[in-house]
Amino acid sequence: MSKTDSEFDEVDVVFSFFNGHDIWPRNQCLKFLQNLHLAFPNVKRFLLCDTYRSDTIPSENVPIFTLGFEFTHGIMGQYIPSLTEWLELFVDSGWQCVEHREIGIPFSAIFDLRPNIARN
């Protein structure tokens, strides 16, 4: 199957919910984002929703979800990127984050990503 004969040629929006941090470490995630258009050659929008590292000191004011999420992933040895790390990665990967919107889960957002024109 050639690059222009993909079974996903008609896909223009891709979604990823709560598994973005599973793609890290950074260099692996960078490669994934840079090559996403190979699987989806006509992608125009990538909506990535994920929980990011809070960088807060544990206290009674930190939501239990945040403490549990960060603790559990820490035990598994799985790195959770911060919001800043995500935003910097998008710039380096050839995607433009046109908006990120917080959702009802603490330290979680939907990132609205569009391919940079220069990539094509």
Each residue of 83-119: pLDDT tens digit?
Answer: 999 999 999 999 999 999 999 998 999 999 999 865 4
Q: Is the pLDDT of residue 29 over 80?
A: yes
Provide the percentage of residues in the chain whose pLDDT is more than 70. 92
pTM, to two decimals = 0.84
Tell me the average pLDDT of the chain: 88
Encoded amino acid at 78, one letter: Q
pLDDT single digits (tens) 38-85? 899 999 999 999 999 888 777 788 788 888 888 888 898 889 999 999
Residues 30 and 93: beta-carbon distance below 8 Å: yes
Which CATH code fits 8-119?
3.40.50.150
Residues in the chain: 120
Residue boundaries of the structural domains of the chain: 8-119
Euclidean distance between CA atoms 39 and 28, whole angstroms: 16
Residues 109 and 103: beta-carbon distance below 8 Å: yes
User: What residue ranges in the chain does DSSP mark as E strands?
Assistant: 13-17, 45-51, 95-102, 108-115
